[in-house]
Each structure stands twice: as C-alpha cells, then as structure tokens.
Amino acid sequence: MTPDISGNVEGSFQLIGGNFTNAGEASTQLKMKLFEFGVDDAIIRRAAIATFEAEMNVIIYAAAGQLHYYITPENIKIRVEDMGPGIEDIEQAMQEGYSTAPEWVREMGWGAGMGLPNMKRNSDEFMIESVVGEGTTVHMTINLNE
Amino acid sequence: MKLSELAEKLSLKIASHTEGMNGNITGAYSSDLLSDVMANSKVGNVWITLQTHINIVAVASLKGLAGIIIVGNRQPQPETIEKAEAEKVTILTTSHTAYETAGQIYQILST
Amino acid sequence: MEKANMKLKEIAKVLDAHFITEAMDADDLDISSACSTDLMSVVLYYHSMNCLLITGLTQPSVIRTAEIACIKCIVFVQGKNPNLQTIELAKEKGIPLLSTPHSMYSVSGRLFQAGLPSSPEK
C-alpha cells in the first residue's frame, strides 16, 4: 500500500533520563502518526520497535536526549541523540546479550543487551556514533516502499 | 529425574559443568528476574531463563538449583561460562522459547 | 500436539486467573499463541497477532511494550498485581490484564498442555 504522505513531515520529542513513567510515549505517538498516513502495519511495527528501544536506551543511560523523526513518501528517518555516558566499544555494544546495565535496570525488565541489536534488525539503515563522556547518536532509516 | 535424562529428551546442549548432569531435578522455575528466582525457586529446580550474564551463576549456586537452561538460542557470555565452571553450575542451552521449554518440561515431569 | 486457539475466558479458567481489567468483550478474545518473559526487549522479538504475554513484571513499561509489540493481553503470574498506574495505562490501551496464582512455569505448562503454541521469534 502506498502511504498517503504529501510532502515531508517532521517532529521531535524530548526524552528525560530516568523517566520510566512516560517511556515509550514518543514511539507510540510516532506509531499513531504512521498509522494516520496509512503506512503498512509491518513497517509501523518495525519503526515503533526501533524507536522504542532507542528511547529506552536514552532513559536508562542518559541524563536527557531528543528523538527526531523525518517522514517522506520514501522513508522514515529517525535520529535519537543523547547526553549520556557514550559507548566505549560500539562493536561490543552491538553484540546481543552484552549490557552495561546496573542491577536495578535488569530488575525492571531492561538491560538484557538486546536494545541495539533490536534497533539494527528493525531498520533498513542503521548508524551509531558515540563519544565517551559526551553522548551517543543513533540514525535509523526505514523504507516505506518495499 | 536426572538432569541428563531431561537434557536428552529436550535435546539440550551443555555449556558448562558437565558433572552436574547427574543431579536430580525437583521441578522447574521460569523467570528472568534475579530477585524473583532468589525469592521463589526451590533447591533442585532447573531454571529456565533468557538471561546470559554472569550474575545468573551466583543465583543458581546460592539457591542450589539443578542447572540453568538458557533459551531462544542465546549463548551464555564467556565470563558466565567461566564462573559457572568455577562454581560448578551446569548451564544448558536450547533453541526453543521459554514458553515451549517450560511447557515441555511440565509435560515430562507431570507424567 | 494439536495447535489450538483459545478464548481468553477458557485461558482464565485453566489458569485459575481473575481479570484485573477488562477490555470490551475480553472474555471472547481469541488467543492463538503465547510468550513468557520478564524482559521487555524480548517481548519485542515475538511477532504474532493474538499473542498472550505471560510475565512477572508489573511495571507500566510492560503495557507500553505490549502495545508496541501488538500483544493482545497480559497474564501476571504468582498472584502479582500491577499498580494503579499500570492498570490505568492498560485500560487506556485496551489491553486486558489477568492475574493467576500460579508460577510462570506452571502457567506455561498448563497452556502448553492445552494446546496453545509458542509465538515464534523473529
């Protein structure tokens, strides 16, 4: 189904570190927007999952961050940047099961080391850049027309 | 039932401490929350989980669990295996989901 | 073993579970598979429609994760009761919640024996 998007749509959300209460709100809103545009269910799901995991990483590890989305008729571009501790070894961080999460995070059902792999798997293009002590930015692109 | 018997029936792969396969199973416990396992699992239970990090070894050891079955084709972290050998904790793996693994064990143990 | 759909009310009976919340016609919901985990990222791995989540985690994130993963309803094990915030969020999202006194292992076992298959992982 060709989604009904004329022109480009963009928006952003502020993410607050440690705020588990509203965690997922940004992804839910993006999901609803894509639904309004008539985007394919499977694609909405992938976008929601990738965004959700990115949101959770910011909330778990960073002081604050921002989620920015940019939707065109061809694809959805999502950029999540945070002011967090940064990742020392990105390759290691991308390994499934690898996590630096403290115990209290694991007890909340997170920190099993699946966030980054989940994000990569659900996007068509995935790029991550990080500076230790400054923060991390994740770029994801999901194509709308298969 | 011995852990080795269960492992054979479910085609589980051994990841650490083969000697533990002789142990007897008293039942099974399924959870990914360490505090939950600490509070509610029983001695001799086999623990079904997706967690692969090193802390699972201490929990299994402290609670006297028969072993840990890591599900979903996940592999224990290298440090986890190392610690498991040192603490004499048997870790097994399966490609089945936690739900399936629990379901199969439930069927086997209740007949 | 024959694979079978189960109605939510049937599931509640098998699990000695009571409804904490109800979405419209929750009783009649058709469930075709189940997954059990306490890890949120894992919930996102499963992809079938009409899936039931068995979990011991009662935080609001469970509801949000379930919504994103299109989970149809959630069963909390070991008599765990979610807090008011979780319940309100579930009502808002239309996800019925059940609570059973049995353990995750026992719940999985009962449903598996009743023929409910596992949700496949991606």
Interface predicted TM-score (ipTM) of this complex, two decimals: 0.94
| Local structure of residue A63 (DSSP, 8 states) | S
Range of the domain at B98: 3-110
Residues in B touching A114 (Cβ below 8 Å):
none
Distance (Å, whole) CA A77 – CA A74? 10
Q: CB B102: neighbour CB atoms within 10 A? A: 29
A4: in domain = no
| Local structure of residue B2 (DSSP, 8 states) | B
Q: Which residue is closest to C80 within chain B, CA to CA?
A: B36
Q: Mind telling me how many Å the CA of C56 is from chain B's nearest CA?
A: 8
Residues 23-52 of B with CB under 8 A from A: 32-35, 50-52
Considering only CB atoms, B32 lies closest to which of C34, C38, C78, namely C38
The CATH number covering residue A50 comes to 3.30.565.10
How many domains does chain A divide into?
A: 1
Give the CA count within 13 Å in the CB-facing half-sphere of A23. Answer: 28
Question: Between β-strands C51-55 and C73-76, what pairing exists: parallel, antiparallel or unpaired?
Answer: parallel
- In sequence order, the 6+-apart residues with CB closer than 8 A to the CB of A120 are A94, A126
Q: Per the CB < 8 Å rule, is B77 touching A97?
A: yes
The CATH number covering residue B78 comes to 3.40.1390.20
Distance (Å, whole) CA B64 – CA C67? 37
Q: Where are the domains of chain C?
A: 6-113
Residue found by looking up tokens 């909390």 in the block: C76
Residues in A touching C38 (Cβ below 8 Å):
109
C68: confidence class by pLDDT, cuts 50, 70, 90: confident
Residues in B touching C52 (Cβ below 8 Å):
none
Distance (Å, whole) CA B81 – CA A139? 34
Range of the domain at A35: 16-143
C2: confidence class by pLDDT, cuts 50, 70, 90: low
Q: Which residue is closest to C38 within chain A, CA to CA?
A: A109
pTM score: 0.90
C34 CB near a chain A CB, below 8 Å? Answer: no
A26: in domain = yes
Q: Per the CB < 8 Å rule, is B77 touching A98?
A: yes
Rounded to the nearest 10 degrees, what angle do helices B78-87 and B55-63 cross at? 20
> What pLDDT is attached to residue A106?
87
- Cβ–Cβ under 8 Å, residues C33 and C116: yes
| Local structure of residue B72 (DSSP, 8 states) | T
Query: What are B85-95's pLDDT values in tens digits?
Result: 999 999 999 99
**Fold entry, domain C6-113:** 3.40.1390
A114: in domain = yes
Residues 64-103 of A with CB under 8 A from B: 96-99, 103
Interface mutation target, options B77, B79, B93, chain A, most CBs of A under 10 Å: B77
C120, two tokens: 């496949």
How many domains does chain B divide into?
A: 1
What is the full per-residue pLDDT of chain A (146 aa) written as tens digits?
566 766 778 999 999 998 887 788 889 889 999 999 999 988 998 999 999 999 999 999 999 999 999 999 999 999 999 999 999 999 999 998 888 888 888 888 888 888 999 999 999 999 999 999 999 999 999 999 86
C40 CB near a chain A CB, below 8 Å? Answer: yes
- In sequence order, the 6+-apart residues with CB closer than 8 A to the CB of B22 are B2, B3, B4
C122: confidence class by pLDDT, cuts 50, 70, 90: low
Residues in B touching C106 (Cβ below 8 Å):
106
Q: Give the neighbours of chain A: at least 3 Cβ pairs within 8 Å.
A: B, C
